[in-house]
Amino acid sequence: MILQGKRVALPAQPAVHRRFEEHAAATPDAVAVCCAGQRVTYAELNARANRFAHFLAARGHGRGAKVGICLDYSIDLVVTILGTLKAGAAYVPFDPAYPAARLRLLLGQVPDLALIVVSTRTAELVESAAVEVVDSEQSFDRAADLPATDPDVPVTGDDVCYAVFTSGSTGTPKLTAVRHEGWFNLLNWLTLEYGLHSGSHNLVVSAFGFDLSQRSLLMPLFCGATQHLMASRNFDAAMAYRMLTEHGIRTVNCASSTLYVLVDWETARGGDALARLDYLLFGGEPLRVERIADWAAREGTTCTLLHQYGVAECTDVATSYDLAGHRAGEHAIAPVGRPAYNTAIHLLDERMRGVAAGEYGEVCISGSSVGAGYLDGTGPESERFTTLVVDGAPHRLYRTGDRGYLNPAGELVVVGRMDAQVKVRGMRIDPTDVERALGRLPGVREAAVVAGYTDAGEAELIAFIVSADGEPAENDVRRRLLETLPRNMVPARFITVSRLPLSPHGKVDRAALADVYRKQYADSGATA
């Protein structure tokens, strides 16, 4: 089964920074970026980025080079990103929200890294780097006398514009590269499909290393709007909501779990800044519609909620669905919709043959969004990038490892990971199915399920529950689950927590939950 997005012609040089340069020429005095009380116009940002591009070129780091960036959210961060792109190089985020040990691991995964740009606050995080480390303030000072004009560096759609780390099925960080054509196609689709414009001011709420953040960072500059950055290394719900109310923000991109936090914040305070946005674009993990249903249905909520699906290997977003069309009572899982421009979704069986509508298959992606592959190895995950022949024509394809189907309306529904299933008492179980069942129970606000293992090596499911009203009785939860789930799908243990921990990317941190389990049940003989 193939779901084909609209085909739209792209420019000969589909580069995101070229569109930014057009806005800098047409509206030089418009505000491009605001952060911590500072602001920079399009003309000023373009000039500073041009000087940094010439600085890189003078050091031999032009087309094809990889430039590491370890900076907190700031105007300097945006200058560095744009300057790197203008030089023809690709940037690699080293997120300062990560622990130093994690960054040391990531540094060893980047082949031929040219240099790393840091600030005085982040330099120690990458002091183990075997490449040149450049202080952003010093480099900008040295670039002050360089030309402020746009560098004449041609790029092609196949050139890499950025590369982000994503944990593959082996758990080892993989560096996946995104091409200029894919990134331009994504932002062009968002702009045209949803009518984004110079008033579509954006607030970044996710960590720099997240693939979603790359789209969020450049989306407003692609359509001539203002980018607002929080002066906080980690997500701060209070600061985010204050900025929503004070700065005329119209769009927010975030993980689903971050959306829940923002909705809770607004609901507790009786505000409407979130509800009156133009667009909330979210995804990255299974959506629990019941967590936002009451807020979305209340009078005065005019925001369009876009439930989106994609993977870092294919430029972040492949499909999108307006949640206004979802009826929770009719379908347990909200669709993720139809493909972006120049993108196709293939549902294939284990022999790479298409399945019929309504049948389960592996979700595979082809088209402009497919990235350049993994830059840090040729392990088994690289085999996910393959070629599929359709009607006699070869199509470059990425096998996501996600399982899904097309509903009767022709919309993609993703039901879980093909490799996330746990075998419990001889039966394969997807923990997300159990999470959905828990989330539908009265009194359960949120739930996450992870796998644990007994001393005998037998798998068992561990449920973490955030109560909506007091601490739910374990026996009561177990009894109600047994009304809808087979016995082997009911978790062996239930742990009540005040909240589900989030990773820097804004997703549920399942590794942290496994640590909680290990600490609480170390004496029981079970290990996660």
| Percent of the chain predicted with pLDDT > 70 | 93
Token pair belonging to 83: 């300057």
Decide if pLDDT at 352 tops 60: yes
- pTM for the model: 0.85
Mean pLDDT (whole number) for 99-108: 85
Determine the Cα–Cα distance for residues 432 and 468; give it in Å rounded to an integer: 20
Mean pLDDT (whole number) for 454-482: 81
pLDDT attached to residue 452: 80
Determine the Cα–Cα distance for residues 472 and 90; give it in Å rounded to an integer: 50
Q: Among candidates 411, 306, 318, which has minimal Cα distance to 369?
A: 318
By three-state DSSP, how is residue 527 classified?
A: strand
pLDDT attached to residue 170: 46
Contact 250, 223 (CB under 8 A): no
| Structural domains present in the chain | 338-417 (2.30.38.10), 422-524 (3.30.300.30)
| Percent of the chain predicted with pLDDT > 90 | 65
Mean pLDDT (whole number) for 109-122: 93
Determine the Cα–Cα distance for residues 112 and 155; give it in Å rounded to an integer: 20
Decide if pLDDT at 527 tops 70: no
Strands (E), 43-170: 66-70, 90-93, 113-118, 132-135, 160-167
Work out the pLDDT band at 528, boundaries 50, 70, 90: very low
Between residues 337 and 496, which one has the greater pLDDT? 337
- Looking at residue 9, its amino acid is A
pLDDT attached to residue 174: 86
Determine the Cα–Cα distance for residues 476 and 470; give it in Å rounded to an integer: 13
138: which DSSP letter?
H
Q: How many CB atoms lie within 10 A of CB 60?
A: 8
Q: H helices within 15-74, ranges in order?
A: 16-26, 42-58
pLDDT attached to residue 25: 98
By three-state DSSP, how is residue 62 classified?
A: coil
Q: Residue 357: how many CA atoms within 13 Å on its side-chain side?
A: 7
Q: Which of 319-323, 414-418, 508-512 has the highest mean pLDDT?
A: 319-323
Longest dimension (CA), the chain: 72
pLDDT attached to residue 101: 81
By three-state DSSP, how is residue 5 classified?
A: coil
Work out the pLDDT band at 381, boundaries 50, 70, 90: low
Between residues 512 and 302, which one has the greater pLDDT? 302
Decide if pLDDT at 168 tops 60: no
pLDDT attached to residue 526: 45
- Please, what is the Cα angle at 524 between 522 and 525, to 5 degrees? 80
**Structure confidence by residue, pLDDT tens digits, 194-250:** 999 999 999 999 999 999 999 999 999 999 999 999 998 888 999 999 999 999 999
Token pair belonging to 404: 């899904």
pLDDT attached to residue 474: 79
pLDDT attached to residue 18: 97
Determine the Cα–Cα distance for residues 174 and 153; give it in Å rounded to an integer: 29
Token pair belonging to 236: 């701060």
Decide if pLDDT at 515 tops 60: yes
pLDDT attached to residue 38: 96
